[in-house]
Amino acid sequence: MSTKEVIDLRSDTVTLPTEEMLEAIRHAELGDDVFGEDPTVNRLEEMAAAKMGKEAALLVTSGTQANLVSLMSNTRRGELVILEAEAHMYWYEVGGISAIAGLLPWPLKSPLGALDPRDVEAAIRPRNIHFPEPALICVENTHNRHGGTVITPNQIKAISDVAKAHGLKLYMDGARVFNAAVALKVDVKELTKHVDNLMFCLSKGLSCPVGSVVVGTREFIDKARKTRKVLGGGMRQAGIIAAPGIIALEKMIDRLEEDHRNARRLAVGIAKIEGISVNLDVVQTNMVLFDVSGLGVADELFLSELKENGVLALMNAKNKVRMVTHRGIEEEHVEKAITAIENVANELSPSLA
């Protein structure tokens, strides 16, 4: 790394494709995927379904499209969807859940992202002329806004039991489900077996340039394929997106462990800085959330000073900074980032140094 290189910790979405991925794109066998004739897409979809222990899969353009397609394919307009109050679908998807899917989100608070089954049970009201019909429960794994926290197979099963008892479907926003599986050291199927359907992203820690995959029963995926079409997501020679996805599934999952190690290293380093606090219990995968309220400076100033020192980050909430580790961030970058944060803290709040 040159001394001028920027350490970009804004998100794992900033990862660039590997050389092997670029080669695979160049040589991908292509066809028209709207006719189901792109062999590379078909291969990726089959691999994804097998990996998740489900019948079928569908390549889509983004995590947001995956969630929207899944919401619409699991429900009818006017129905109620129970989700966690900090869920990505609720916070960051431009309100598509209501504006496009026509659903009523019913957010439930939780300390670390895992819904309490008793809260879910209580939220499912009896069928009544006044109430919207409840249709779907959503979990997010790992949980982004809670700091990349992991939801365990037992926690998912407990929600699934409630869903089944009330005839509701269970969906998982598994944008980073492989991070959860790697952190728990379990096969990803342990995390998917209790949900009816899910999505995962290729373009985050797995390093692909584009794409997410929706996975579920054959019937659900047939419906999702049509929903994707109405949303303008029918792609033609989409094998150029699927080709790196195949490499991601074959080769990029196990290395997520490195990202987790680096996140922990980063968090432990940041925790020692005066004026900054980190809850280390929440650092379970590749994200670090830390509180800079002790520095007494505006968030914009903190981020811009950090940028001056060669490190990029995002705010997760007021005074709460988010950093995400990913391929391309090595131990030396973590050390440099810690030093940069320390320098900024000292510059902005010299009295604390």
Please give the angle made by the CA atoms of 153, 213 and 227, to the nearest 5 degrees: 115
Give burial (CB, 10 Å; 0-12/13-18/19+) of 3. Answer: exposed
Which positions from 238 to 277 touch ligand TLP by CB under 6 A, shown as an x/- string? Answer: ----------------------------------------
Cα separations in angstroms, 213 against 35, 42, 80, 123: 18, 12, 24, 29
Is residue 55 classed as helix, strand or coil in its secondary structure?
coil
Of residues 144, 155, 192, 286, which one binds ligand TLP by CB under 6 A?
Answer: 144
Q: How far is the CB of 87 from ligand TLP (least distance, A)?
A: 8
> Is 218 in a helix, a strand, or coil?
helix
Query: Nearest-CB residue to ligand TLP?
Result: 63
Which range touches ligand TLP (CB under 6 A), out of 25-33, 61-69, 241-249, 296-304? 61-69
* Contact map string, positions 293 to 332, toward ligand TLP, x by CB under 6 A: ----------------------------------------
Tokens of 96: 């598509």
237: tokens are 């020679």
In whole angstroms, give the CA distance from residue 126 to residue 80.
13
Residue 13 sits in the site that holds ligand TLP (CB under 6 A): yes
Taking the least distance from each CB to ligand TLP, the nearer of 9 and 334 is 9
Select from 48-56, 59-67, 105-113, 120-128 the region that touches ligand TLP (CB under 6 A). Answer: 59-67
Walk across the sheet containing 277-278 and list its strands: 277-278, 287-291, 320-324, 314-317
| Least distance CB 48 / ligand TLP (angstroms) | 16
SS3 state of residue 56:
strand
* Spatial contact of 225 and 190, defined as CB atoms under 8 Å apart: no
**Contact call for residue 286 and ligand TLP (CB under 6 A):** no
Give how far the C-alpha of residue 294 lies from the chain's centroid of Cα atoms, to the nearest Å. Answer: 29
88 binds ligand TLP (CB under 6 A): yes
Q: Of the two residues 40 and 62, which places its CB atom closer to ligand TLP in the complex?
A: 62
Contacting residues toward ligand TLP, per CB under 6 A: 11, 13, 62-64, 67, 88, 92, 140, 144, 173, 175, 201, 203, 212
